[in-house]
Structure 1
Amino acid sequence: MKTLRAIIAGNRLFFAFWGLFFVLGLILVLYMGKAGSFVELNPYHRTTLDTVFMSVTFMGDGLFSVIVIVVFLLRRCWSKATQVLAAFLLSALVAQILKNLFSMPRPMQFFPPGAYPYFIKDVTHLGFASFPSGHTTSIFALATILALFTPDRRAKLVYLFAGVLVGYSRIYLGQHFLNDVLMGSVIGTLVAVLVHWLFVAKGERWFARPRGNI
């Protein structure tokens, strides 16, 4: 039975780079503020990049996680499908609770009209659901749980890079501030670790049980 410490130790490279991403992001937010860091991270916009990041951000959509779950089910990877589903649902629940609790304005709602020139028509939203970023929460829950499944270090870093890229896409598209993205990454990562730990501690025996004995 894996302990929580063993899970962390076996994925230290993933968590080390995630920690670096979080610390650097936190320093930027503390130094420049959420508005200043948002503008600093958005110095260059082009129509081509808009299209690219609108595609990238889809990986943080709930539908993308559902597709991954379906793939695992088709491959009869019941335990992996269950863990991805649990991580997705639990992290989404936590994110929604915090969104309603804090009710923070999105960048387009936060900045005065004309203060920021790169909001994208019919893409960037108004509203008070900025903190935390739901898409970032979703992709980090998925990226972390997939990283925990594989022993391949390069694959772990690819999953982490995908999470960071989706997080940045939320800033680029004007949907969230950096602090929203950082908190989303924390929720997604911690929930995924918790789900995986609970599963290997409690659930493995259920999935290992012959189906005829159920």
Structure 2
Amino acid sequence: MFRTDINHWLQQWDHSFVYWFFEGVSALGTALVLIVLLYSIMIGVDLKKGFGIANMFFYVILLTLLFKSVVDYPRPMAVDTTLNGFGRKANTENLTKLQPEGYFDTFSEPLLQKIRNQKAAREGFPSGHTSLITAIMFGLALIFRRRWLSVLSATIIVLMMFSRMYLARHYLGDVLGGLVVGLLFTYLVYIIWQRIFSNPKNSNATAYFMLSPLVLVPLYTWFPAFPAGTFIGLNLGYLAIQRIWGNPVYSPQTGLRIASVAVFAFIAFLSTYINRRLGFPEYGLVSLLLYIVFSMISFLSAAFVCVQAKWWEFE
């Protein structure tokens, strides 16, 4: 699973159309697209269900980042210089002779040391694009229970796996690892979410569920501050909306829903831009707390705009 045979097999079909198709598929797993998709579900469709999917997404992304850091496996282009990296800088030394020989073998220590010493493309396992698109698409299929959505989700997930291997960003083992992480932890969060939100009167359980990411605070050295802080801040924002205004009922007018999504996305990206410009450290308690505050304030600010514009009503 950690040999480049399948990457070479996929790249034998190389063509400009194939490249742009798989490049487009991979773009679906980028932060910009996924954040817009999340806000479209949360603000354009259903806040409660959207936040269920958002929690699945953030737990998966944090665990993916943790596994990447701990495992620290190389990417195919860092080992096999004969692969087409499609503009991505690869290793200058061909290390294919040090690849695992058996299908289920893992990387040898000599190969890992060479890659890490040269600072070549690393942290390939598990595939983040695969795990994150799996979290959102599988979450959508679980919560909304539409047959067409299940078929679409499975198709996009499989295409994402092939795109990452074709572009030489991941081994077969990487994308399978991303698939397992995405499916397993999305389903675990879904089970908890379903039991809690199936009883709307159980407000305490809802609060506990939304506050559970606070366990990340004492683990600030394990997880990057930005995704962890954003996760906690969004959940706190959700609870604040429920306490201040109640559960929102979105306008039946599609245009107003699109406007609401645009407001939330714009304020979220503006907040993110400011955070990045301030240059907070990637890890650290202060960074985490600041991201929590920024995330919560930006979410509540967008909600305030929608309330004042009378785009939202409340139960």
TM band (smaller chain): 0.7 to 0.9
Residue range with higher mean Cα deviation, 196-205 or 166-175: 196-205
Q: Is contact 2:3–2:171 with CA below 8 Å preserved after alignment?
A: yes
Q: Give me the TM-score of the superposition, normalised by structure 2.
A: 0.52
- 2:21 equivalent in structure 1: 52
Residue deviations 1:157-180, cap 9 Å, x none? 111110111111111111101110
Which of 35, 39, 44 is the aligned partner of 1:66? Answer: 35
Select the residue among 180, 193, 196 that pairs with 2:187: 193
Q: 1:120 corresponds to which residue?
A: 86
Q: 2:160 aligns with which of 162, 166, 170?
A: 166
- The 1:213/1:69 distance shift into structure 2, 3 A limit, reads closer
Deviation at 1:205, TM superposition (A): 3.5
| d(CA) in 1 for partners of 2:47, 2:184 | 22
> Does residue 133 of structure 2 align to residue 139 of structure 1?
yes
Structure 1 residue corresponding to 2:123, chosen from 118, 123, 129: 129
Task: Map 1:1-214; keep pairs closer than 5 Å.
Answer: 29=1, 34-75=3-44, 77-111=46-80, 113=81, 115-116=82-83, 118-122=84-88, 126-205=120-199
Larger radius of gyration: 2
Structure 1 counterpart of 2:137, which letter?
A
Q: Distance in 2 between matches of 1:213 and 1:137?
A: 33
CA contact (8 A) 1:124 1:174 kept: no
Instruction: Please state which structure has a larger fraction of its residues in helix.
Output: 1
| CA spacing shift, 1:207–1:134, aligned 2, 3 Å | farther
**Higher normalized contact order (CA 8 Å, seq sep 6+, divided by chain length):** 1
Alignment match, 1:24: none
CA offset digits 1:135-164 (Å, max 9, x no partner): 001011111101112333232011111011
Alignment gaps of 5+ in structure 1: 1-28
Unaligned 5+ segments in structure 2 are 92-119, 204-241, 248-315
> Closer, same or farther in 2 for the Cα pair 1:213/1:174, shift >3 Å?
closer
TM-score for both structures, normalised by structure 1: 0.75
Aligned residue in 2 for 1:22:
none
Q: d(CA) in 2 for partners of 1:213 and 1:119?
A: 51
- Closer, same or farther: CA 43–213 of 1 in aligned 2, 3 Å: closer
Aligned length: 180
Identity %: 24
**One-letter amino acid matched to 2:167:** L
